[in-house]
Structure 1
Amino acid sequence: MVRTISYREAITEALTQEMARDTSILLMGADVTRRLPKFPGRVLDTPTSEATVVGAAIGAAACGQRPVAELTSGGCFDQIFTQGAKPRSLFGRAARTPVVIRCRYPVFTHVPGLTVVVPSSPYEAKGLLIQSIRDDAPVIFCEHEALYETRGDVPRDSYTIPFGQAHVVREGDDVTIVAFGRMVAVAVEAGDELRASGVAAEIIDPRTTSPLDTGTILRSVEKTGRLVVVDEASPRGNLAADVSALVAHEAFGSLRAPIEMVTSSFDAFEDLPDAQKVRNAAKTAVAYRR
């Protein structure tokens, strides 16, 4: 059964279904019992010290639990890197650290041993969170607060979305638009406007930044010959630069125009990408002539 619920409700439903299925799953974070009062003893209110929360979650994971740690920022990098990711990268699958950390994304994509998940819709949020909880690796689950009240069709039953498999949101032949998280909806809005002017944009939601589905991106660029990457992170060292470098290296011969990147401003982070900026970048790419 499919019905329309919010991004926030999809995350809560995924947690509820998984905690009912598996008694080893814990939820940890500030004031989480208010939002998920079920499962006494397994929903743990914690101090606001995120380093403490992550350290405790990784320790619980090492002892056989499957904790989900809810954070409001990424201010716990040492615990995530040293205690969570490093054993996984050093010892491979022999190191089991099944912890899910809910926070923000670009810097964590750089770290070997972490899976980084960036859901763009209620459907993606539920399926990717369930997959995250069941995975034996440490997962950074990057939910966007601005998406919490967005609504979409979500199956009532439990389901998973595999890591490393991008979603082609819309097919097109003129330009490829790769967008992350909240920017997927911005890209779709821009795609609607482009379609009205005769430009067919292929829109790709990578879903995970590590692993990254490079095959889907490269095949799309080989077809369209043009690339626009949309990432609301700072333009220095972000995913837009990473994907642009990938395509420039692996599919340079297929490009018919310079790659366009739409990001926030380096000096004014609140200057975020919007549909008009994405549309203008796509039109620039399509109009380019050597």
Structure 2
Amino acid sequence: QHRQPPASSVLVSHTNGLHAGTSLPTQPLLSRQQITDDTQPYPKAALDEELERDERVFLLGEEVAQYDGAYKISRGLWKKYGDKRVIDTPISEMGFAGIAVGAAMAGLRPVCEFMTFNFSMQAIDQVINSAAKTCYMSAGSIAVPIVFRGPNGASAGVAAQHSQCFAAWYGHCPGLKVVSPWSSEDAKGLLKASIRDDNPVVMLESELLYGVPFEMSEQAQSKEFVVPIGKAKIEKQGTHVTLVAHSRPVGHCLEAAAVLSKEGVECEVINLRTIRPMDIETVEASVVKTNHLVTVEGGWPQFGVGAEICARIMEGPAFNYLDAPAVRVTGADVPMPYAKILEDNSIPQVKDIVFAVKKTLNI
């Protein structure tokens, strides 16, 4: 069925003061001391299994060894694998990222942990110019199988220099693969896939999810469990509107879908999982079914992941199936404030998604 093309996409800013809706209670966060192997969304199991499977794999970064990692992701790995496989580094991101890139070029498979991806700005030349471009510049003769991983996006009470989302930054760069997990299964499967990949991979985790308990299926607990890079997951089937998100906003979308379901609106929720390469085919198929699209992300609005999704839909066959302009829900276009009330008003909430869905459905 061929439909009349709608107008251009619409942005729902979190700061316009117009949002109304009901927010479901979020899952309780655990302290760093309470985080265990069973509750971590990014369990050490993925690192442990890959360190055991392949002797070329090693982990390096600040406090990853004797301190068990700033968020206890590497708990016990230093004692198990020793100084040559789990390596504490000086506070020099440019230095240890360069060591990791060189090791990857030499045939090893390093996992380079940034204590926060905000610190990756100190090493961006190594990530972009050395890791991402080497395979192309060497005509495919030099692979750089490296994983850059660590917490990304909004945290809690750490202000502007520790709270931005780098999905759009790294997703812009050819030569990189960029993954952004939400659940425990996403995190374990994507980390294992990233370590096994022959290309440089940026894995953007969420500090606010480190203490959220997720259930792990029996399949996901297998040592052979891998989530393919570049494949989105439909977390909830729906018929009225497509919600697309990555990382923590996936949970917000599911909460918003539960609220809207009580009002007769069935949302299809897509967990993007991978930023680059983007699985736009899954999004297109959903939009063809629902005829409405809302993207949700914690990053800033300009040149963001949501903007890319909307552009791809506009340029592709699914555009003719839209009954209304696509809507983006994003973080506010400001550096992250420190005060909690301002911080909460700078990142998308469940009520903002509910508002955006009602806006695109005109209800």
TM category, shorter:
over 0.9
When structure 1 is superposed on structure 2, of 66-75 and 87-96 the one drifting more is: 87-96
Larger fraction in strand = 1
Identity of aligned residues (%): 36
CA distance in 2, matches of 1:11, 1:116: 19
The alpha-carbon deviation at position 286 of structure 1 amounts to: 1.2
CA distance in 2, matches of 1:143, 1:92: 31
- Residues 86-134 of structure 1: per-residue CA shift (max 9 Å, x gap): 0123456543111000144320000001000100111100000000001
* Partner of residue 128, structure 1: 190
* Partner of residue 38, structure 2: 5
Residue of 57, 62, 73 corresponding to 1:30 = 62
When structure 1 is superposed on structure 2, of 34-43 and 171-180 the one drifting more is: 34-43
Residue 349 (structure 2) pairs with residue 274 (structure 1): yes
* Partner of residue 57, structure 1: 100
What is the identity, as a one-letter code, of the residue corresponding to 1:152? F
Whether the 8 Å CA contact 1:264–1:272 is kept in 2: the answer is yes
Dislocated runs of 4+, deviation >6 Å? none
Residue 256 (structure 2) pairs with residue 185 (structure 1): no
Q: CA distance change for structure 1 residues 136 and 276 in 2, over 3 Å: closer, same or farther?
A: same
Residue of 6, 9, 15 corresponding to 2:47 = 15
SS of the aligned residue for 1:228 comes to: strand
Whether the 8 Å CA contact 1:5–1:122 is kept in 2: the answer is no
Residue of 288, 293, 296 corresponding to 1:230 = 296
SS of the aligned residue for 1:126 comes to: helix
* Partner of residue 231, structure 2: 165
SS of the aligned residue for 1:191 comes to: helix
Residue of 96, 113, 129 corresponding to 1:70 = 113
CA distance in 2, matches of 1:93, 1:11: 33
* Partner of residue 263, structure 1: 330
SS of the aligned residue for 1:67 comes to: strand
Residue 231 (structure 2) pairs with residue 156 (structure 1): no
When structure 1 is superposed on structure 2, of 46-55 and 168-177 the one drifting more is: 46-55
The alpha-carbon deviation at position 268 of structure 1 amounts to: 5.0
CA distance in 2, matches of 1:107, 1:254: 30
Structure possessing the higher relative contact order (Cα contacts under 8 Å, 6 or more residues apart): 2
Q: TM-score, normalised by structure 2?
A: 0.76
Q: CA RMSD in A?
A: 1.5
Whether the 8 Å CA contact 1:121–1:150 is kept in 2: the answer is no
Residue 94 (structure 2) pairs with residue 46 (structure 1): no
Residue of 204, 207, 211 corresponding to 2:277 = 211
What is the identity, as a one-letter code, of the residue corresponding to 1:7? Q
SS of the aligned residue for 2:192 comes to: helix
SS of the aligned residue for 1:143 comes to: strand
Residue 202 (structure 2) pairs with residue 140 (structure 1): yes
Ranges in structure 1 where 5+ consecutive residues have no aligned partner: none
Q: TM-score, normalised by structure 1?
A: 0.94
CA distance in 2, matches of 1:230, 1:5: 28
Ranges in structure 2 where 5+ consecutive residues have no aligned partner: 1-36, 69-76, 153-166, 337-342
Larger fraction in helix = 1
- Residues 188-237 of structure 1: per-residue CA shift (max 9 Å, x gap): 00010011110000000111000100100011111111100001001111
